[in-house]
Amino acid sequence: MKPPAPSSSRVSFLLKKARVSPILLTFLAFVAFVTILYSQDLRCLFGQFDYSDHPKHNKHQTISPTKKNGGKLPFAIGETEEGCDVFSGRWVLDEVNRPLYEESECPYIQPQLTCQEHGRPDKDYQYWRWQPHGCTLPSFNATLMLETLRGKRMMFVGDSLNRGQYVSMVCLLHRLIPEDAKSMTTNGSLTIFTAKEYNATIEFYWAPFLLESNSDDAIVHRISDRLVRKGSIIKHGKNWKGVDIMVFNTYLWWMTGRTFKILQGSFNDEVKDIAEVSTDDAYRMGMKTMLRWIKRNMDPKKTRVFFASMSPSHAKSIEWGGSPDGNCYNETKLIEDPNYWGSDTRKSIMQVIGEEFRKTRVPITFLNITQLSGYRKDAHTSIYKKQWSPLTPQQLANPVSYADCTHWCLPGLHDTWNELLFAKLFYP
């Protein structure tokens, strides 16, 4: 059984409103809706994520907030080998143990991520395993994960990339739960997977900036002119209280150019007080606000907080030495250059994260997935996904034009992110 697609209910809501001149209004509503949903992909296509004149940073320090806490961390059952950075490694083909589940056996994958169902001809992207240089990752033990969640709440908060990781986690666990003892429901920004016999929930909360913004509607997000309200995390944060294991991400939505607009007052102010600051500073403000919320609301003796770094897009082949007009479309191989990094924006945001996390005393575990994902130009959904609107003949003639080089097929890369989460949760 497929979980209900939230989009369809919104469509019918829009249609119901379109009484006056039904055909025209319906059409307009649908076009607007599709445009909005598609904004991320369009942005990916237009390559707006790249601003190539940011300063280059080449720090290779790792953050180990886990050590700051002194004693044993909640949920820890062992330790990663001394000196092993699990995020530094290489991809190896593993046709024996991959994929960790089949696309067709996990009904929770949204149709934007089911690549095989949408005609992807190759399957290699499902068979790669991450091999750290300094140690071996523990195998993902679904029984252990689910037992650990007994009587607990795990929550992913962030954007569609974090939603992908959330769905992957549900797919990794759901097989252990009988059909009539699990459910997934969505109400507004919150999606909840419940494992009844375990009294456990795994939840996803849509907040692409973590802070209050004008893109907070889970279905209809404003596209252009994004606005984030300074320091405003309480409105969303009240829905996160009582969570035992938290996974945050935020990145892509901040990438609207060199600068970003921050609202100083309230969204209800008649005359809005808006400051335009550098994207780095805006993001830094977001980090500080998140860390302050964690400090005030999460008990480090009982809970764990993770933060996943930027998920890289592959919208420009030229970044990895490909043709000038290509992107992830038709890519089935990995990037082999171990030093590959991609856009410089990622570097400067990584620098901001590094600085803020090193300063804080809040125990937060960093999932540094950016570089390892950067090698995976093969793993995007590309054209193999449910399209929100019929494609035009021009688009069909040029698949590069509508390939989604931001999101990732499932099973696939997100499963590795969860293996890393698993490793850091139990073997910090």
Q: Which residue lies nearer to ligand NAG by CB, 4 or 22?
A: 4
- Given the rule CB under 6 A, which residues bind ligand NAG? 59-63, 87-88, 141, 143-144, 147, 151-153, 187-188, 199, 330, 350, 353-354, 368, 371
Q: How far is the CB of 147 from ligand NAG (least distance, A)?
A: 5
Q: Which two tokens stand for residue 201?
A: 């929930």
Minimum CB distance to ligand NAG, residue 406 (Å): 20
Cβ-based burial of 269 (10 A; exposed 0-12, middle 13-18, buried ≥19): exposed
Q: Which two tokens stand for residue 389?
A: 């609107």
The residue (of 236 and 414) whose beta carbon lies closer to ligand NAG is: 236
User: Which C-beta is closer to ligand NAG: that of 72 or that of 196?
Assistant: 196
Pairwise CA distance, residues 123 & 332, whole Å: 9
Closer Cβ to ligand NAG, 199 or 278, answer by number: 199
Of the pair 38, 87, the CB lying nearest ligand NAG is at: 87
Rounded to the nearest whole angstrom, what is the least distance from the CB of residue 341 to ligand NAG in the complex? 8
Integer Cα distance of 203 and 158 in angstroms: 11
Give the CA count within 13 Å in the CB-facing half-sphere of 382.
25
250: closest CA among 225, 300, 215, 202? 215
- The answer to whether residues 87 and 373 touch, using CB atoms and an 8 Å cutoff, is no
Backbone region of residue 126 per phi and psi (left: phi > 0; alpha: psi in -120 to 50; beta: other values): alpha
Closest C-alpha to 287, from 365, 369, 367, 360: 360
Please state, in angstroms and rounded to a whole number, the distance separating the CA atoms of residues 146 and 131: 24
CB within 8 A of 220, min separation 6: which ones?
Answer: 10, 33, 36
How far, rounded to the nearest angstrom, does the alpha carbon of residue 354 sit from its chain's CA centroid?
19
Closest approach of Cβ 128 to ligand NAG, in Å? 17
What's the min distance (Å) between Cβ of 422 and ligand NAG? 11
Number of other residues whose CB lies within 10 A of the CB of residue 215: 21
- Write down the least CB distance from residue 152 to ligand NAG, Å: 6
Cα separations in angstroms, 189 against 108, 216, 252? 17, 8, 18
C-beta of 8 vs 61, nearer to ligand NAG: 61
Active site residues: 160, 404, 407
Alpha carbons 154 and 279: distance in angstroms, whole number: 30
263, 215 Cβ separation under 8 angstroms = no
The distance of closest approach from Cβ of residue 361 to ligand NAG in the complex, given in angstroms and rounded to an integer, is 17
Label residues 90-105 b or e (16+ Cβ within 10 Å = b): ebeeeeeebbbbebee
Comparison of 274 and 358: residue with beta carbon closer to ligand NAG:
358
